[in-house]
């Protein structure tokens, strides 16, 4: 629909139209723009969140660069980002598998089953996993004991890892041992199926016509060939978008670490991530100014990623 152009002169008469955007604008000005500007401003101050503040110049930023916890946190988030990228594979694999099924009815039912985890609040799924990790009543340890996989882990620890975290007769403290915290954060959510991702991939795959497969088969393409040359190219855009969103989401997220490990990032702060450190500095230590500076650092990282995303990855329509 072509929009109705209203000239500047006529706009004086039709000024009431502006009232339609004013409420939305006021909301985002107050709760999005103001906090963002406030964060930039207060990152230069020693600020406790109230009236009192003292100008520090670049003090907070200098402190960022010599904050060992923060750089440790960036190291941890780096590991988690790399792990999360690999955790995209199961969703792609299951989408391709479901798509290749001959029966439409089964495709439909698998799709419904895949969405079921989404109707449990995310927080609840997370707490159920926390319960799985529980050393004494948790099911992960019960499973490892029952299947004797624990002796494999003990062997692995003794011969390869040298972590001294697995021992006969002692329940494994999944979220309690600094060495096991990052592995547990990675293991969380196994088998890492993202329902939304699968649905989107399936939608992309649906546009492949039967004749493409027939042609591929005449050429003697194997299953793997079909994946690389027919299926993957069709969902590649979506895979790339998901990849960038995932990296950005992991970089700024700290809900997972907060809920599983608490605001200090668990034993030895092994699960500390930058977002959680910002939260911790503001709401536990009361150093709002420094927390704003951490926030600005994350902001710049994500802005750069978003820039590259829009320049090189995102394909509009």
Partner 1 sequence: MNPAPSPAPAGGREGSDWLKHAIIIAILCIELLPFYMMLQISVKDNTSFLANPWLPLPPGEWNLGNLVSGIRLIGPYIANTVFVAVSATGASLALALLGAYFFARYQMPFGRLLWAVFLVLMLMPGVANIVPLFALLKGMGLLNSLNALILLGVAGGQVFQVFLLRNFIEDIPKDLFEAAEIDGASHFQQLRSIVIPMSGPIIGTLAILGFLGAWNDFMMPLIILRDRELFTLGVGLIYLDGEYVKKWGEIMAAYLIASIPLILIFLFTMKLFIRGLSAGAIKG
Site for partner 1 in 285-304 (CB under 8 A): 288, 291-292, 295-296, 298-299, 302-303
Residue listed under structure tokens 């706009």: 11
Give min distance, CB of 262 to partner 1, in A. 9
**From 65, 124, 160, 162, residue interacting with partner 1 (rule: CB under 8 A):** 124
Give min distance, CB of 184 to partner 1, in A. 15
Q: Is 129 in the site for partner 1 (CB under 8 A)?
A: yes
Angle between helices 34-42 and 288-308 (to 10 degrees): 120
Give min distance, CB of 161 to partner 1, in A. 25
DSSP state of 52: -
Give min distance, CB of 178 to partner 1, in A. 21
**From 83, 182, 243, 248, residue interacting with partner 1 (rule: CB under 8 A):** 248
CA distance 281 to 275: 10
CA distance 245 to 243: 6
* Element housing 194 (H / E): none
**What is the maximal distance between C-alpha atoms in the chain?**
84
Q: Is 178 in the site for partner 1 (CB under 8 A)?
A: no
Whether omega before 191 lies within 30 degrees of 0, making that bond cis, reads yes
Give min distance, CB of 159 to partner 1, in A. 28
CA distance 167 to 151: 8
CA distance 78 to 71: 10
**Residue among 34, 14, 13 nearest 25 (CA):** 34
Give min distance, CB of 54 to partner 1, in A. 16
**From 225, 255, 308, 315, residue interacting with partner 1 (rule: CB under 8 A):** 255
Question: Which positions from 60 to 79 touch partner 1 by CB under 8 A, shown as an x/- string?
Answer: --------------------
Q: Indicate the residue among 97 and 149 with the shorter CB distance to partner 1.
A: 97
Q: Indicate the residue among 182 and 248 with the shorter CB distance to partner 1.
A: 248
Q: What is the C-alpha R_g of the chain? A: 25
Instruction: Assign residue 11 a region (left: φ > 0; alpha: ψ between -120 and 50; beta: otherwise).
Output: alpha
Give min distance, CB of 164 to partner 1, in A. 28
Q: Which stretch binds partner 1 (CB under 8 A): 59-67, 73-81, 126-134, 156-164?
A: 126-134
CA distance 196 to 172: 33
Q: Is 229 in the site for partner 1 (CB under 8 A)?
A: no
The burial class, CB within 10 Å (0-12 / 13-18 / 19+), for 313 is middle
CA distance 245 to 265: 24
CA distance 227 to 233: 9
Give min distance, CB of 57 to partner 1, in A. 19
**From 223, 268, 285, 315, residue interacting with partner 1 (rule: CB under 8 A):** 223
Q: Is 220 in the site for partner 1 (CB under 8 A)?
A: no
Q: Is 30 in the site for partner 1 (CB under 8 A)?
A: yes
Q: Indicate the residue among 23 and 57 with the shorter CB distance to partner 1.
A: 23
**From 54, 62, 86, 137, residue interacting with partner 1 (rule: CB under 8 A):** 137
**From 173, 197, 265, 266, residue interacting with partner 1 (rule: CB under 8 A):** 197
């Amino acid at each position: 629909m072509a929009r109705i152009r209203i000239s500047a002169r006529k706009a004086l008469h039709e000024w009431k139209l502006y009232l339609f955007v004013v409420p939305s604008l006021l909301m985002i000005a107050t709760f999005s723009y103001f906090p963002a500007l406030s964060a930039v401003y207060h990152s230069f101050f020693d600020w406790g969140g109230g009236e009192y503040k003292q100008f520090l110049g670049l003090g907070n930023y200098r402190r960022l660069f010599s904050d060992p916890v923060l750089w440790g946190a960036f190291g941890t988030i780096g590991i988690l980002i790399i792990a999360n990228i690999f955790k995209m594979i199961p969703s792609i694999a299951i989408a391709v598998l479901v798509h290749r099924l001959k029966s439409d009815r089964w495709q439909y039912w698998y799709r419904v089953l895949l969405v079921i985890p989404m109707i449990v609040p995310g927080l609840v799924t997370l707490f159920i996993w926390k319960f799985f990790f529980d050393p004494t009543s948790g099911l992960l340890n019960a499973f490892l004991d029952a299947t004797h996989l624990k002796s494999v882990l003990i062997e692995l620890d003794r011969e390869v890892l040298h972590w001294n975290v697995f021992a006969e007769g002692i329940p494994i403290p999944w979220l309690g041992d600094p060495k096991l915290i990052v592995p547990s954060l990675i293991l969380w959510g196994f088998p890492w199926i993202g329902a939304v991702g699968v649905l989107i991939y399936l939608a992309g795959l649906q546009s492949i016509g039967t004749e493409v497969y027939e042609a591929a088969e005449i050429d003697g393409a194997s299953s793997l060939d079909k994946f690389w040359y027919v299926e993957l190219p069709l969902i590649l855009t979506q895979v790339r978008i998901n990849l960038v969103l995932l990296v950005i989401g992991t970089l700024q997220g700290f809900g997972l670490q907060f809920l599983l490990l608490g605001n200090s990032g668990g034993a030895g702060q092994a699960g500390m991530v930058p977002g959680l450190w910002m939260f911790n500095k503001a709401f536990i230590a009361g150093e709002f100014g420094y927390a704003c500076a951490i926030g600005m650092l994350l902001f710049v990282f994500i802005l750069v990623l978003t820039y590259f995303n829009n320049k090189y990855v995102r394909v509009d329509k």
